[in-house]
Amino acid sequence: MIDRDKINTAASDVSEMHKELAEIAEALVQKSTGKLDKLIADFSKNIDTYTTEELNRLKMQLCVETYYLGTRKDVAVSKAECAEAIYKEHYAKSVTATEGTAVHKQQCATLETAPQQAVQLLYNLTANLLKTKLNEAHSVIRVLDSVCISRAAEAKLAQTAQM
């Protein structure tokens, strides 16, 4: 039989931990994506008023920001990998330092390495959030490309029709 109280408690613990990690990860991501977010926010406020020249300028600015964001994402991935290595090292040291049965050693090591596990989760979350931002920025750039191409084609047709 399922103990709903234990499941609810565990779900609450997960939600609380995720909330805390997400707040930290969002702050880390914001440091890396502030300019990109501002460009997108400004664009979305005035989406209908941009000229083709302004769209091309925005597209170039977004490309520059994604250039740097890709590196920042890779750094977060690398930090997640470092956190995993540190976690494994602490886990192994804890297992060998603890006396008792194998199960007892593993349980103690798991409890002792919780902070390292949390850091690993934090950097995995940060890397995933940066990857999403990067992918979305690339999507916006592709849309801007399409709009600029469409506008150029329309202008060419209009020019041809006037002749």
**What pLDDT score does 56 carry?**
94
**What pLDDT score does 160 carry?**
85
* Cβ contact 134:33 at 8 Å: no
pLDDT 10s digits, 9-23: 999 999 999 999 999
Q: How do the domains of the chain map onto residue ranges?
A: 4-162
Give the Å distances, CA to CA, from 132 to 128, 129, 149.
6, 5, 26
pLDDT 10s digits, 26-64: 999 999 999 999 999 999 998 889 999 999 999 999 999
* Cβ contact 56:85 at 8 Å: no
Non-local CB neighbours of 134 within 8 Å, separated by 6+ positions: 66, 69, 70, 73
Q: What angle do CA 33, 59, 152 make, to 5 degrees?
A: 160
**Residue 12, amino acid:** S
- Whether the per-residue pLDDT at 133 is higher than 90: the answer is yes
- Whether the per-residue pLDDT at 150 is higher than 80: the answer is yes
How many whole angstroms from its chain centre is CA 3? 35
**What pLDDT score does 159 carry?**
84
pTM assigned to the model:
0.83
Non-local CB neighbours of 117 within 8 Å, separated by 6+ positions: 87
- Whether the per-residue pLDDT at 163 is higher than 80: the answer is no
Query: Among 17, 128, 124, 133, which residue's Cα sits nearest to residue 79?
Result: 124
**What pLDDT score does 161 carry?**
82
pLDDT 10s digits, 71-123: 999 999 999 999 999 999 999 999 999 999 999 989 999 899 999 999 999 99
Determine phi and psi for 120, rounding to 5 degrees.
Answer: -60, -45
**What pLDDT score does 45 carry?**
93
